[in-house]
């Protein structure tokens, strides 16, 4: 965008300074040629800026996709670890419950024998 403004400013300067059509500019080019060259340069600058913006956008999209994939993998790893922990907790709870039932049954049997 800055290049475009500089090119347009240059074109305006050339137009204002080179208004005298009777005298050729020092470069030998007419004012019209100067304006045409400035317009061509502005077109190239706009094309370059557009290409740069497209490349930067593509890079940003790639980076976002990579970050999203990494976050999904991280979430999956955490979910797997949580599922494993829940499974282990369920095993421990089942074992504790079974132990309590056996202990209670042993107490009932002991009291029944007395």
Q: What is the pLDDT of residue 99?
A: 87
49-98 pLDDT per residue, tens = 999 999 999 999 999 999 999 999 999 999 999 999 999 999 999 988 98
Return all residues near 3 (Cβ < 8 A) that are at least 6 apart. 42, 45, 48, 49
Question: In whole numbers, what is the pLDDT of the chain averaged over residues?
Answer: 82
d(CA 54, CA 31): 34
Which of the residue ranges 26-35, 59-68, 105-114 has the most confident prediction, judged by mean pLDDT? Answer: 59-68
Least confident interval from 25-29, 35-39, 53-57, 107-111? 25-29
The residue among 37, 30, 29 whose CA lies nearest residue 11 is 37
Q: What is the pLDDT of residue 113?
A: 79
Q: What is the pLDDT of residue 107?
A: 83
In this predicted structure, the answer to whether residue 3 has a pLDDT above a threshold of 80 is: no
């Amino acid at each position: 965008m800055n290049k475009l403004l500089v090119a347009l400013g240059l074109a305006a300067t050339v137009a204002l300074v080179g208004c005298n059509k009777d005298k050729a500019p020092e470069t030998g080019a007419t004012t019209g040629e100067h304006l045409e060259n400035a317009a061509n340069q502005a077109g190239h600058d706009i094309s370059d800026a557009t290409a740069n913006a497209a490349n930067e956008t593509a890079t940003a999209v790639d980076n976002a996709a990579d970050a999203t994939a990494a976050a999904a993998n991280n979430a999956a790893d955490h979910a797997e670890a949580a599922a494993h922990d829940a499974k282990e907790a369920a095993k421990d709870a089942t074992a504790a419950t079974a132990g309590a039932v056996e202990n209670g049954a042993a107490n009932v049997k002991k009291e029944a024998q007395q």
